[in-house]
Amino acid sequence: MASESAPAILHIGSRRSDLARLQTLMVAELLEEEMGVEVECHYREAPGDTNLKDPLWKMPETGVFTSFLRDGLLEGSFDLVVHSWKDLPLAEEPGTTVAATLPRADPKDLLIVRRDAVEEIAASGGHLIVLSSSPRRQFNLTPFLKTVVPGVTSVLFRDVRGNIQTRMRKLMDPGMHEESLGPRPHGLVLAKAAVDRFIRSTGEEFRDSRELVEGYVSKCRCMVLPLSANPTAAAQGALGVEVSTAPEKEYVRKLVRALNDRTTFEAAWKEKEILNSYGGGCHQKIGCTILPRQYGRVMFLCGRTDGGLDLLDRHITPKTPLLEDLRLGEGDPPPLQVGGAGGLSLFDREVDFEAGGKLMDALRAGGREVGLWIAKASALPSSPPNLIECINDLDIPVWVAGTTSWRQLAKRGLWCTGSADGLGEQEDPDLSSIAPGLKKWIKVTHCDAGERQHIAVPDGEPRKETLGTYALKSKFTLESCPSDLKTATHIFWGSGSAYAEALRLAEGLVDRVEVHGCGPGHTFDALRDAGIPDERIVIALNFSEFCDRVRGPGAREGSVDVLSGQRTTLPVMQSHREPSYAVIRWRRETYVAVVYISSCIGCMTSAAALLNQGAGAGVLLIGTHVPINYNGFLHILWKKTNTRQVIADAHRMCPRLFGKSPLTSWLTLGWQW
């Protein structure tokens, strides 16, 4: 096989934009410094950079930022080209391949909102106008921003094109606004990695762009958007180094592979494969991000396919699956959640009414060098009355544990910068670009976490101090210990404090509990510190995922409680009997359940439409399709409150829900027809 000798100079191709050149030089410097190779960079204008009128998803061709560079590889003009990997088409084409990537930058999106837009938004009745041409961002962020930006009642997206600098000017410069479009935009969504790279750049040739981006960011409120609600374009934040697959270019491929960060490479490829399975392309309203972690792989998938199917998947793929003999089997007690939202609470809370004043004094004293870390929404004191206003006026970073707390705090009027997304405090907020003066976090939590306790952080990262705002008081005695805690063998712990309290209350808990579940943060550390081996710990994003991971064949899902109900008459139902409905509690979620006999599948959706009023987590529609199957044919329509719908075959779902046939189960619950 022919093999080319080492060239005297490696020729690197790239787009001409400042960001593309900055990224290309990152690769070039590594080749020169670590590989001892002389390089020469060539910059060309991309078709996608010249057509600034049409949104990318409306352009007829794919690869508007990359195909012309691929042509250069095939022609031999370049030895390698550097891309923002997210710009590459999902499916590779013959003749070239992505052979390497550098370690991934922060993959998340960043929302910046003009500081002077706050009054405009309020005057408009809470209507937020955001610039972004991405269908993915528009679809996923429209419902999310309404719940996390204080005072916002509706979100309108407006298309925008151009490089980072141009898009920021269209937000910040009144002279660049077209009056015919209506009111000035208030915000702009960007890839955080692009903003970080500009602000952290050191080259003189990028000084103008660096100062422009840094200056505009300083005039905005920033919000780092969570991957759970807004997963990104495949491979966002990663650089793709594309090379020719020709035999004579083996030397180039070998050099490039030596730079490859395998962890980033595998995650980016997996994201590409997942999105490609749904059709791919800039027109898709789907985001997918995979985060490799020591405990496994975290995946976030959210969006809507071209066929109208809504996607929502958040889970952890563990490095080591749970052993089969540790899984729940038939007859075993169902999993139990202790602590956390919806779990068995072992504590009452005693609020420190002086904590709010202490916090306000500490934040004012710290100025721009301090940030606020909120362990849970209820940890932020409700007094003094002007505490929220004070925090907003100080314009300091506010980081929260997860999106549930974020939404609760937004209702109180607090602007949050971002969240750990339920992945624990070890997740680096990475705010040096948007909060360059940050040196210390003040974390509000319970007093037992240690008032003003220093928490170990990596060198160079802002240190953490804790400020207790409430105390945990035991709710039970040894004699009144909940029976579930005395019998459960598989427990999901909402906090390390809950585990410690359970040890006090339930004798023999250590020997009885076979599997412990928790999130990937401090609770995991507490379980390991207590001597629980890793093979008996299941790290999950929530209790529901823990249940799925620990159940074996025939395991019980848990009890179904009928909370209330009534018969109802539905004229559209062509059924043998009037359907009945009830409000039920299953797996700690509230549903409206409808039971009927019918031979018309259309009746199911009619019933759901009529009975969805007041539903909690969704609607369970249960029925028998007698002519088809003597054992009953069940369909479930699960309609979440955010309008996401899934229709599933009942032969799979019925045993998971009730452990037996639908009619038998319903009668067992005491709900008669």
Q: What confidence score (pLDDT) does residue 63 get?
A: 52
Q: What confidence score (pLDDT) does residue 243 get?
A: 95
Q: What confidence score (pLDDT) does residue 477 get?
A: 95
Q: Which residue has the higher pLDDT, 2 or 7?
A: 7
Quick: pLDDT tens for 571-584.
333 333 444 445 54
Task: Write b or e for each residue in 125-153: b if 16 or more Cβ atoms lie within 10 A of its Cβ, otherwise e.
Answer: eebbbbbbbbbbbbbbbeebbbebbbebe
Q: What is the DSSP letter of 643?
A: -
Indicate if the pLDDT at residue 503 is higher than 70.
yes
Domain 109-224 shares a fold with domain 348-474 = no
Q: What confidence score (pLDDT) does residue 637 get?
A: 32
Q: What confidence score (pLDDT) does residue 283 get?
A: 79
Write down the CATH number for the domain with range 109-224. Answer: 3.40.190
Quick: pLDDT tens for 209-235.
999 999 999 999 999 999 999 999 999
Quick: pLDDT tens for 345-399.
999 999 999 999 999 999 999 999 999 999 999 999 999 999 999 999 999 999 9
Compute, in degrees rounded to 10, the torsion defined by CA atoms 165, 166, 168, 169. 120
Quick: pLDDT tens for 544-574.
899 888 987 555 444 444 444 444 433 333 3
How many other C-beta atoms can be found within 10 angstroms of the C-beta atom of residue 345? 15
Reduced to 3 states (helix: H, G, I; strand: E, B; else coil), residue 30 is helix
Tokens 């399975």 identify what position? 277
pTM beyond 0.85: no
Quick: pLDDT tens for 275-311.
988 876 667 899 999 999 999 999 999 998 887 878 8
Quick: pLDDT tens for 46-97.
665 554 565 554 544 455 557 778 888 998 999 999 999 988 877 788 999 9
User: Order of strands across the sheet with 589-597?
Assistant: 560-567, 580-586, 589-597, 618-624
Overall fold of domain 10-101+237-261+272-282: D-Maltodextrin-Binding Protein; domain 2 (3.40.190)
Q: What confidence score (pLDDT) does residue 130 get?
A: 98
For residue 24, give the nearest of 90, 71, 69 by alpha carbon. 69
Selecting from 2.30.29, 3.30.1460, 3.30.70, 3.40.50, what CATH number does the domain 348-474 have? Answer: 3.40.50
Mean pLDDT, residues 157-183 taken together: 92
How many other C-beta atoms can be found within 10 angstroms of the C-beta atom of residue 468? 21
User: Order of strands across the sheet with 285-293?
Assistant: 285-293, 296-304, 310-318
Say if residue 32 is exposed, middle or buried (CB neighbours under 10 Å; 0-12, 13-18, 19+): middle
Tokens of 655: 């045993």
Helices (H), 479-565: 483-487, 496-505, 509-512, 522-529, 543-550
Indicate if the pLDDT at residue 188 is higher than 60.
yes
339 in Cβ contact with 457 (< 8 Å): no
114 beta partners: 220
527 in Cβ contact with 553 (< 8 Å): no
Indicate if the pLDDT at residue 132 is higher than 50.
yes
Mean confidence (pLDDT) of the chain? 81
Percent of the chain topping pLDDT 70 = 76
Indicate if the pLDDT at residue 617 is higher than 70.
no
Indicate the domain borders of the chain: 10-101+237-261+272-282, 109-224, 320-346+476-550, 348-474, 560-668
Q: What confidence score (pLDDT) does residue 6 get?
A: 62
- In order, the DSSP letters of 171-214 are HH-GGG--GGG-SPP-EEEEEHHHHHHHHH---GGGHHHHHHHH
- Compute the chain's Rg from CA coordinates: 28
